[in-house]
Chain A
Amino acid sequence: MKTLTMLILLLVASIAPAQLKIVTTATDYADLARQIGGDKVTVQSIMRGPENVHNVLAGPTEMVKLNKADLFVHSGLDTEPWRDNLVRGARNAKIVEGNPSWVDLSVGITLRDVATGATDRSKGDMHAYGDPHFTMNLPNGMRMVATLTRAMAEVDPSNADFYRENARKLVTEFAEMNKELRAKLDPLGGLKIVTFHRAWGYFADSMGLSIVDTIEPHVGITPSPGEVVSLIERMRAQGVKIVVCETYNDRKLAQSIADKVGAVMIVLPDHVLGVPEVKSYQQLFRYNVDKLIDAAKAAGIEPRSP
């Protein structure tokens, strides 16, 4: 009897529909894929969350994840310089650029800071296509959901309606959340902040923040002492009271700059799982907005009357 039961279970398992295997570069994409795909998908992220998306140490064990992937979801552009080694080593012809399984989530996004004219490295480790940190923006999140859903539906048409239904709910939720969070920050009247890396432009756009400057004088370059002094003077002149440091950047330097101008330094994640409390894409925005409001309060910034 036991043998028969086992055989039936094995048979059921073998005919059960296979889950769509999705591998993503970033934790944000993994969370969106899970929310869209539910129990129809298995999702793995190469990034763990707190690290810099440009500097992930992705080796052969990550290639193993990609070897059997049905979808490879990534940022496109030149966001993940380690991506090419990974794809080349994965030995999976499905996920090569140009195939439906190669899912570039920058598609449809209007990029900020797109270089015009001749470019060179005198501007630092600049990105050739424009600012690649587009995930930190809920309207962009809606666009990403649409792109991801299209790809999932194309590769797994039997569950397309299920994916689309979940995607519609997500997009509606993002739109409402954007209004809600913006309303929470609006009383702070274009809160002025300085960030370490140029990673917050899209977030500031959607939340009505004003990024006055960055600690890095040029993208990817640590400031010299003279540049730090100059930044402090500019912060004083502009009355900046909040310094934002990403989870992976030099907190001591950010704190010392904040101390010198009497500002509050906060560490904010720019990806899901950047800090343990942020387990979903929605939590990423709620956490950051709440931290900014707390920091503004601690810095003595009074909300405007409505």
Chain B
Amino acid sequence: MHARTGLLAAVALPWVVSAALAQTAPAADDRMDQFEKRLNELDQKYQSELKKRDEEIARLKGNLNQRSAATTRDAVDQTKQDVLADIDARTAGPFTMRTPASFNPSIGVVSNFSGNISTLNKNPARNRFDIGSVELDLRAPIAPIADGVVILPIAREVESDLFFTDAEDGGGGIDEGIEIEEAYVFLHDFGVNNLTAKLGRFHLRFGRQNILHEHNWPTTDNNFVNKSFLGEEALTDSGLSLSYVIPPDWVGGQYVELVGEVVTGEGGGETTPVLNNDASVDSPAVNLHALWNTNLNDDWNFELGGSFLAGKHDNSGSQDAFLYGLDATLVRTDPTGGFANSMLMFEGIYGNVDTDDGQTQHAKGFYVLGQQQLNRDWYVGIRGDWTQNAVDDSQEVWAISPYVTWYYFEFLRFRMQYQHKDGDVASEDTLYFQCTFTFGAHPPHPYWAMK
């Protein structure tokens, strides 16, 4: 039974398979056709959508261009409206600041209006008010390694003789004119560490106050010892000044500066009593200055300086002049951050100066100045002077000068000073008044000016 069934199956199988295959081939072809048709439909659909998108992109691009044009038109319209409004406006429009690159120097103008009321009416420099000086201060970098400085005071004053005794001593004429007080190139970087130089005309680094311009003095008049030995306002001269700061590491972190100056020896001419020859190159003067500055503690700063000047006193170059100076300054900074700063200053000079009578004058003198800042605007101080005449050591003069200073602000200052003067001169009591006003750029004061 099983054998017969198996034979039957073997005979039937090929027939069944071939029949089945005959039926399957047409079905697959149909499906392939349907699949192909479907693909074509999808392709057409996507092509259609892509076409629509391209059209949409093109439309949007068009809109964008139209909008940009419209925006530009709006901006132009807005500008037109603004300009039309400006034309009709009665007030000025906002200022547009332009800052071009400028090669002009910083320019400052410092004016000193001063006067005095004195018991010594016969002195022509007393009981008068005048604009003592107008100082033009010009500064600018002139090279990567150098700055230029020019100070041109225009004076209008009556010269005051320190050793005035009677009317014949003072000329009484008004001294007017413009002078070159300083004009130098300051070389701050020429390849030698810690060395700087000035070349031109400048204030000599003798002592402390000689480097100051008149409006920077703490008092209305110059101290007597500087007047007697250096000059009415300051000892200036032409030449070369070198300044070297010893590397702080070598001197325990201290500030030690050495200054050496070679100048013509002319000084300021008639206004400088000791150094006043004819500026021949065969009679130069040499000035040396050394200073040490240190912080005694957080609040107290101390500076000690020594100066030596050697030059000629006359045109022939036969009269020698030697000056020795010592200066000390103590500054206390208000630790609270307020303005109660204090200063005590001393300067003394001793001179050996040959004079026309064949004598050598051994004169000396000094001043002491104490100043207390009360608040941001007010300062009080007192100066005591005693000095001999540098070219006549038989004469001496002394004075006591309390003063008060009020800054309305940095650029407008008023000062009153009383002075009692006596000695081998006509005794006098004088009340000084000073108004200093500044406009334009102005370089910073030295730190000990406390401003």
Contact = CB atoms under 8 A, between A and B. Distances in A.
A99 to B, nearest CB: 10
Interface string A54-98: 010111110110011000000000000110110011010100100
B188 interface: yes
Say whether chain B's binding surface is mostly helix, strand, loop, or mixed. loop
Given A84-B444, A93-B189, A116-B97, A60 B336 contact: no
Contacts of B189: 93, 96
Nearest to A251: B338
Say whether chain A's binding surface is mostly helix, strand, loop, or mixed. loop
B245 interface: yes
B160 interface: no
Contacts, number: 96
Interface in B63-87: none
B447 A82 contact: yes
B408 A221 contact: yes
- Chain B interface size band reads 35 or more
A85 B447 contact: yes
Contacts of A222: 376-377
A225 interface: no
A91 B245 contact: yes
Nearest to A274: B337
A60 B257 contact: yes
Nearest to A52: B337
B127 interface: no
A96 to B, nearest CB: 7
Contacts of B193: 91
Contact of B94 (A116, A124, A249, A274): A116
Contact of B337 (A51, A84, A116): A51
Contact of B338 (A49, A57, A248): A248
Contacts of B410: 125, 220
Given A61-B295, A64-B254, A125 B411 contact: yes
Interface in B172-190: 188-189
B26 interface: no
Interface in B311-355: 331, 333-339, 341
B336 A50 contact: yes
A117 B97 contact: yes
A49 B408 CA distance: 25
B301 A61 contact: yes
A67 B337 contact: no
Contacts of A247: 336-337
A208 to B, nearest CB: 28
B154 interface: no
A274 B336 CA distance: 9
A224 to B, nearest CB: 10
Contacts of B334: 51
Interface in A111-131: 116-117, 120-121, 124-125
Interface string B42-76: 00000000000000000000000000000000000
Nearest to B303: A60
A67 B194 contact: yes
A48 interface: yes
Contacts of B293: 59-61
Interface of A: 48-52, 55, 57-61, 63-64, 67-68, 81-82, 84-85, 88-89, 91, 93, 96, 116-117, 120-121, 124-125, 220-222, 247-250, 274
30 contacts: A48-B335, A50-B337, A50-B338, A51-B334, A52-B337, A57-B331, A57-B447, A59-B293, A60-B291, A61-B255, A61-B295, A63-B255, A64-B253, A67-B247, A68-B248, A68-B249, A82-B444, A84-B444, A85-B443, A85-B446, A85-B447, A91-B195, A93-B189, A116-B95, A117-B95, A117-B97, A120-B439, A124-B409, A125-B411, A222-B376
The 3 closest A-B pairs by CB, nearest first: A50-B337, A60-B293, A60-B255
